[in-house]
Structure 1
């Protein structure tokens, strides 16, 4: 994905406010061996890009004054109630250094799992993203969670995930729960009544 930015000379809250009023969003690029660079981005293009899941977990080509750099989106701030991006942070990417990022989880095959098909259970998604570590070339857009074999009372943990080649999950020593299958309380009492 490509992002176009412009170098920004003026800094401070007044300069940032004027920038936002002119339809741009202030930002910064940091990391690597070069000094941090303050930038300005087109607000509408950035706002719509942030709605795409891939924008958050892809290596981006950020072009500043005709020179392209490989970066990842590190952080962004939104206005409390307006549809307004206040600031965006990008980190430079080194092809030989591992990245530590969060990627989205995509849940598949819930409807054919024994928990749902046989027991009418509900599968709850405990987490929607996980932290991973990998080289920039191996960065996945998302991680798929296959729920085919989940039964009632069972959970899916980070250790159960099939991660793409070159990708490791960062769990900080905990085997975090990703999804659980449970039968709703109303379903249990209805089944008991039917059995009696």
Structure 2
């Protein structure tokens, strides 16, 4: 799925120029990386705000269209107003189809309701992580990674290295090494207490 972001080159610099932009319903931003120089841009706030609410916008190679010139980018950072639903600034990084990128990809959890630990064991499923750091070529970037919880028993968990990753995608080195748990099924509430011996009466 191609997501296109429309922007214009921004000539005026500085905090006062940025304030004027925001009052006019625009968001200042920058695109950097690759062999080209960093470029200051401006985007329509409402269109950007709605795009940022979509999960795929955060984990996809985007097509940035600046005054008709298109290039492939990743969303790298957004700054938000402390209490208003307002985007203050946005950063994009250029990507090269022949160079690997390092991206956080969201996790989608499947089959928790049919896991033995939940269905027959009365346990509760837990999502420990919501995203994982991966590296791949831009053309191989998945929108999400599936976590199949269908075989989990009570007290068991799925770790990062247990996941089946799409072709061409691998966990970054520190995640492979740490192998964090991403999902688990905990014992039913009160289960452990019921099995414990009764305390002697005072």
TM range (shorter): over 0.9
Would the aligned equivalents of 1:106 and 1:145 in 2 still touch at CA under 8 Å?
yes
SS of the residue 2:60 aligns to: coil
Q: Report deviation, 1:81.
A: 0.8
Match of 2:168 in 1: 166
Match of 1:176 in 2: 180
Q: Report deviation, 1:184.
A: 3.4
Match of 1:53 in 2: 55
Would the aligned equivalents of 1:131 and 1:171 in 2 still touch at CA under 8 Å?
no
For the structure 1 residues 171 and 185, does the alpha-carbon distance in structure 2 shift closer, same or farther, using more than 3 Å as the test?
A: farther
Match of 1:41 in 2: 43
* Corresponding residue to 1:15 among 17, 27, 30: 17
> TM-score, structure 2 length as denominator?
0.92
SS of the residue 2:48 aligns to: helix
CA distance in 2, matches of 1:116, 1:2: 41
Q: Report deviation, 1:185.
A: 3.0
Moved over 6 A (4+): none
Would the aligned equivalents of 2:121 and 2:188 in 1 still touch at CA under 8 Å?
no
Q: Report deviation, 1:187.
A: 4.5
**RMSD value, Cα:** 1.5
CA distance in 2, matches of 1:158, 1:66: 41
SS of the residue 2:154 aligns to: coil
Matched, 1:27 2:20: no
Would the aligned equivalents of 1:153 and 1:180 in 2 still touch at CA under 8 Å?
yes
Match of 1:88 in 2: 90
Q: Report deviation, 1:186.
A: 2.8
SS of the residue 2:178 aligns to: coil
Match of 2:137 in 1: 135
CA distance in 1, matches of 2:69, 2:146: 35
Correspondences of 1:115-126 after superposition (within 5 Å): 115-126=117-128
